């Protein structure tokens, strides 16, 4: 495991958070998610993949990164939402560290942890891509958003 040099999100590095649903209504949903993750990690190889320790897409992202030799960092949380080691604090770490976030979900829910992470990533003015896998295997893809402002590199 290679740890990042700056835990607040070093924008000179490509750190992708990959998060999403625990399960899919579509029987092929997890296989579709695996293919999307593999395409993302081979198309633009990030410096680091970050995710939570949640079952489903989050653990799948860490596994696929490992299979492809991409460094990954998995954050784990206790089962409660609040508290210093709760899901909210863990999700805040993932959102602060990433320079972009990919969410793969079964439905458009913004109240779940993965929605919270991608919303915070967008608030931090970093690109977000939201993918929804329908009950019949259809894929709705928002594509990568573009930050509204881009900071010029220091000269």
CA angle 46, 51, 56 (to 5 degrees): 120
- Candidates 78, 82, 30; CA nearest to 52 is 78
Query: In order of start, what are the domains of the chain with their CATH numbers?
Result: 15-141 (3.40.50.450)
- Candidates 51, 26, 43, 12; CA nearest to 106 is 26
User: pTM (2 decimals)?
Assistant: 0.83
User: For residue 66, with 0-12 CB atoms within 10 Å meaning exposed, 13-18 middle and 19 or more buried, which class applies?
Assistant: middle
Give the model confidence (pLDDT) of 67-111 as tens digits.
Answer: 999 999 998 866 666 776 667 888 889 999 999 999 999 975 545
């Amino acid at each position: 495991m290679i740890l990042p040099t700056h835990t607040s999100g070093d924008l000179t590095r490509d750190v992708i958070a990959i998060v999403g649903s625990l399960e899919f209504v579509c029987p092929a949903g997890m296989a579709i998610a695996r293919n999307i993750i593999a395409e993302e990690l081979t198309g633009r190889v990030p410096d680091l993949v970050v995710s939570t320790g949640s079952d489903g897409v989050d653990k799948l992202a860490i596994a696929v990164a490992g299979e492809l030799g991409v460094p990954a960092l998995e954050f784990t949380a206790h089962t409660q939402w609040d508290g210093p080691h709760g899901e909210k604090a863990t999700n805040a770490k993932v959102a602060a560290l990433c320079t972009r976030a990919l969410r793969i979900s079964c439905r458009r829910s913004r109240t779940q942890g993965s929605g919270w992470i991608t919303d915070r990533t967008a608030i931090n003015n970093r690109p977000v891509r939201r993918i929804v896998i329908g009950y019949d295997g259809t894929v709705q893809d928002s594509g990568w958003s573009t930050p509204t402002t881009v900071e010029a590199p220091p000269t």
